[in-house]
Amino acid sequence: MSTSIGQPVERVDGSRKVTGAARYAAEIPLPGLVYAVLIGSRIPSGRITYIDTSQAERAVGVLAVLTHLNLGPVAEQQPPLMPSLGGGPAPGQTFFPMRDDVIHYPGQHIAVVVADTLERAQHAASLVDVTYAETPSITTIDQGRTQVYDAERIFGGMMPGRVTRGDVEAGLGQADVLVTATYRCAPNHQNPIETSATTAMWDGDLLTLWDGTQGPNATQLTVAAQLGVPLDQVRVIAQFVGGSFGSKAMIWDHPALAALAARHVGRPVRLMLDREQMFYSVGHREEQEQYLALGARSDGRLTAIRHHKLSPTSHFDDWAGISLACSATLYACANYESVYRLIRANTITPSFMRAPGEVEGMFALETAMDELAYELGMDPIELRLVNHADVDPESGNPWSSKGLKECYARGAELFGWAGRDPRPKARREGNLLIGSGMASAFYPVAPVFTPQRARARLYADGRAVVQASFSEFGTGVTTAMTQVAADGLGIVAGAVRLECGDTALPNTVAAVGSAGTAAFSAGVHAAVTALRGELVERAIADVKSPLHGVDPADVDVLDGCMMVRGRPEIGETYGELMRRNHLTDVEMVGSWSPPPPGGGYASATFGAQFAEVAVDQDLGSIRVRRMTGVFAPGRILNRRAAHSQLMGGMLWGIGHALLEATHMDAVQGRWANASLGDYLVPVNADAPDVQIDTVEVEDTVVNPLGVKGVGEIGLVGAGAAIANAVFHATGRRFHQIPITIDDLV
């Protein structure tokens, strides 16, 4: 019986956050705490020929300066690149810095300065004297066009570099209409409010890390592997994380460097990246070009899709955000080809940034679909319905749940799509050109590979504690898990306390790929179901219980009272049972083992995005006036938190389409706008009226509660809907994002 799941329960950690009681990784007070500051390379490529730390070492308060000359032991074999969903070590890249004098990318960490205050450490860092021998670098696609290679596999080896089905050439030949274009996306950086940070403390051989991470277990596994330390000697605590958007999904080198620094000075060390370092040290959404060819019959049916991506990656890893997965499965099409091409560049390995790859891929695909709709003289929704994939075109498997047609219909109704005059530049308000556009939304249900565990304990006073290792990085997962626990135990949410963010608690996977809440819900559900079952069994076995001998299948629990279904007068509370049996508490660990991937179903989340823009003809400024998004993400655990997640994603679509770009100064080999002042993101004044609705779809395949996740789907397609609206308003089609005022005037 569900009384809590789905309700818009307020955040259980809200008051701790607004009062400042919630502690983040760089706010842990420890006796003897000292401060570490990282120094990054000023050049993108070359060698350190000379590094003089003597002046820094003599500065007041300085305890140590670590460089490649004295770093201390790092494991010979660094862990392989593996996205944190895999359950193993999840390094951001396979390269660990400060082991020799070679510079592979700008900002590469070359020294750690430790002092008794942050200011003294920062000052000493300015005294470290470094001389470089710079070699030619490649930091942009344009610089690397002669260095292109076809990726064999990407994404830590998990995804093939090339996917084909049917005959794409033949399919293009059968087409009545062709749309081909090259789409360009600027590099983007995640920029959470809390910059990445680690506090490290050794107690003998035991290392404790307070780390801002999307996966405490991922940090534990990665740092243990990076340093060559046994897993049981590393504990990671990450109760609160101040946002991340993928920057804390993979584990970079700073947690291990903090640990090495702490061991070196024999004191606990706090290491916090500054804002500029967030642009160099924790990955980013890579610059990319996508070539897309769509062929279609005159009735709109797709005959071929060819989708190629070109992007820079590091010297160490074949990384590309999975921009091409959407075109393989979103629409029914027999002939398909996708190819990832990479450029060896002087960059840190690019990484996760919210909907990594999907959002860029869908910008290209959904812009091309809009172009195709115009070529065919078809309504964009009609074109998408004609090509609706009733089964997964890639595997041929049925969807575990879908709801996309309902999303189109509901979105069109809410937005007021019917009767839209499709002609560009047809609608004006004074100086403003008004346009509307739409796009599909698509995000895969990421497979989880490892069992998800949780512990549930009920005390005789009727209160429960539920524990699991996952961190709360602002999504509201702690609140949602409180609701899952309350419903599973048959108690009110107010009687549940959720403890999380500690590898000393039962293991969970990292919260990435929109899979965190879904995965954790399965572990928590398993634990509370086991605990409830244990209590009911004890009552049934107890001759003094009114439930003695009752079939457990006939027992309901409501507000902590076990009772025979339909006969509430026969029953007793958990507390009565426990006190009579001298039990102060009852505790169970639950574990959910995910089904093996490819079990006969394809799983993804779908939605429909709509946007209206007003473009000032003289100024070239674009205002997004309203947005509508309808999504089918399976079971919603907390309506309020889900709404926030979806709205945050949609508003990010404004950033992706119109604002966000990190500019590489290819001469310096450095980002030209590595600050929050120069890297533009939408602010409240940019935020229009956002209308969000969900379509209920039941999914009995993905996990016990049928949760598909809301973390990223809100962003996917939002930028394309805006770009399509800009075309409708102005008659000008842009194939690159962000679309800026400069482009329009």
- Amino acid at position 701, single letter: V
- Should residue 653 be labelled a site residue for ligand MOS when binding is judged by CB under 6 A? no
Among residues 313, 327, 274, 278, the alpha carbon closest in space to that of 139 is found at 313
Minimum separation from the CB atom of position 115 to ligand MOS (A) = 33
- Given 96, 340, 352, 442, the residue binding ligand MOS (CB under 6 A): 352
CB of 516 to ligand MOS, least distance (A): 9
Q: How far is the CB of 511 from ligand MOS (least distance, A)?
A: 7
Nearest in space to 617 (alpha carbons), one of 714, 738, 745, 531: 745
Q: Where are the alpha helices (DSSP H) in 542-638?
A: 574-580
Pick the closest to residue 424 from 723, 725, 726, 731 (CA basis): 731
Closest approach, Cβ 512 to ligand MOS, in A, equals 4
Identify which of residues 354 and 728 has a Cβ nearer to ligand MOS in the complex.
354
Shortest CB 5 distance to ligand MOS, Å: 24
Q: How many chain residues bind ligand MOS (CB under 6 A)?
A: 9
Kindly state the tokens that stand for 103. 């510079």
399 phi/psi in degrees, rounded to 5: -75, 145
Binding span for ligand MOS by CB under 6 A among 30-38, 338-346, 349-357, 732-740: 349-357
Among 351, 15, 80, 315, residue whose Cα is nearest residue 196: 351
Q: How far is the CB of 352 from ligand MOS (least distance, A)?
A: 4
Count other C-beta atoms under 10 Å from residue 242's C-beta. 19
Residue span binding ligand MOS (CB under 6 A) among the ranges 124-132, 273-281, 301-309, 353-361: 353-361
- The nearest distance, CB 348 to ligand MOS, in angstroms, is 16
Amino acid at position 277, single letter: Q
DSSP 221-249: HHHHHHHT--GGGEEEE-SB----TTTTT
Contacts of 666 (CB under 8 A, 6+ apart): 139, 140, 142, 143
**Contacts of residue 46, Cβ cutoff 8 Å, sequence gap at least 6:** 102, 103, 132, 133, 134, 135
Q: 41 or 281, CB closer to ligand MOS?
A: 281
Question: Which of 648, 293, 652 minimizes the C-alpha distance to 476?
Answer: 648
Give the residue, chosen from 354, 455, 457, 656, that forms a contact with ligand MOS under the rule CB under 6 A.
354
Question: Measuring CA to CA, how many Å separate 112 from each of 195, 280, 473, 678, 679?
Answer: 17, 15, 27, 27, 27
CB of 282 to ligand MOS, least distance (A): 11
CB of 510 to ligand MOS, least distance (A): 8
Q: Which is nearer to ligand MOS, 137 or 323 (CB)?
A: 323
Site string for ligand MOS, 221-250 (x = CB under 6 A): -------------------------x--x-
Q: Which residues are catalytic?
A: 712
Q: Rounded to the nearest 5°, which phi and psi values hold at 473?
A: -110, 30
Q: How far, in Å, CA of 192 to CA of 548, rounded?
A: 55
Ranges within 248-267 binding ligand MOS (CB under 6 A): 249
- In the complex with ligand MOS, the residue whose CB is nearer, 645 or 694, is 645
The single residue among 353, 535, 602, 630 that binds ligand MOS, judged by CB under 6 A, is 353
- Select 511 or 636, whichever has its Cβ closest to ligand MOS: 511
Nearer to ligand MOS, 356 or 706 (CB): 356
Binding of ligand MOS by 682 (CB under 6 A): no
- The distance of Cα 705 from the centroid of its chain, to the nearest Å, equals 21
Q: Is 356 in the site for ligand MOS (CB under 6 A)?
A: yes
Q: How far is the CB of 249 from ligand MOS (least distance, A)?
A: 3
The DSSP secondary structure of 434-467, one letter per residue, reads EEEEEEEEEEE-----S-EEEEEEEETTS-EEEE
Nearer to ligand MOS, 317 or 337 (CB): 317
Q: Among candidates 608, 601, 607, which has minimal Cα distance to 399?
A: 601
Give the span between the Cα atoms of 251 and 245, in whole angstroms. Answer: 13
Query: Which is it for strands 622-632 and 689-694: parallel, antiparallel or unpaired?
Result: parallel
Residue whose entry in the numeric block shows the structure tokens 């969970």: 508
Pairing of the two strands 234-237 and 269-272:
unpaired
Minimum distance, C-beta of residue 321 to ligand MOS, in the bound complex (Å): 9
Pairing, β 34-40 against β 109-115? antiparallel
Phi-psi region of 719 (alpha: psi -120 to 50; beta: other; left: phi over 0): alpha
Is residue 513 within the footprint of ligand MOS (CB under 6 A)? yes
For ligand MOS, which is the closer residue by CB, 191 or 545? Answer: 191
Decide: is 710 part of the binding site for ligand MOS (CB under 6 A). Answer: no
Write the binding mask 118 to 147 for ligand MOS: x where contact by CB under 6 A, - elsewhere: ------------------------------
Question: Which CB sits closer to ligand MOS, 294 or 642?
Answer: 642
Question: End-to-end CA distance of the chain, in Å?
Answer: 59
User: Of 27-35, 286-294, 346-354, 412-420, which segment contacts ligand MOS by CB under 6 A?
Assistant: 346-354
Asked if 642 interacts with ligand MOS (CB under 6 A), we say no
Q: CB within 8 A of 524, min separation 6: which ones?
A: 454, 456, 466, 468, 481, 484, 485, 488, 590
Residue 288's closest CA among 225, 362, 391?
362
- The reply on whether position 44 binds ligand MOS by CB under 6 A is no
**108 φ/ψ sector (left φ>0, alpha ψ -120 to 50, else beta):** beta
What is the torsion angle, in degrees rounded to the nearest 10, for the CA atoms of residue 564, residue 569, residue 575 and residue 577? -60
Choose between 356 and 719: whose C-beta lies nearer to ligand MOS: 356
**Interface with ligand MOS (CB under 6 A), residue from 5, 445, 512, 737:** 512
519 binds ligand MOS (CB under 6 A): no
Q: Measured at CB, which residue is nearest to ligand MOS?
A: 246
Query: Contact region for ligand MOS (CB under 6 A) — 155-163, 351-359, 492-500, 678-686?
Result: 351-359
Q: Report the nearest approach of ligand MOS to the CB of residue 695 (Å).
A: 23
Q: Which is nearer to ligand MOS, 356 or 506 (CB)?
A: 356
Helix (H) or strand (E) holding 405: helix 404-415
- Contact present, 320 and 153 (Cβ < 8 Å): no
Residue 509 or 720 with smaller CB distance to ligand MOS: 509
* Separation of alpha carbons 60 and 108, rounded Å: 26
Minimum distance, C-beta of residue 93 to ligand MOS, in the bound complex (Å): 16
Task: Kindly write out the interface string for residues 196-215 of this chain, putting x where it contacts ligand MOS by CB under 6 A and - elsewhere.
Answer: ------------------x-
Residue number with CB closer to ligand MOS (44 or 513)? 513
Q: Where are the beta strands (DSSP E) in 145-190?
A: 148-150, 153-154, 159-160, 162-165, 177-185
Please check whether residue 414 is in contact with residue 589, taking contact to mean a CB–CB distance below 8 angstroms: no
Rule CB under 6 A: which residues touch ligand MOS? 214, 246, 249, 352-354, 356, 512-513
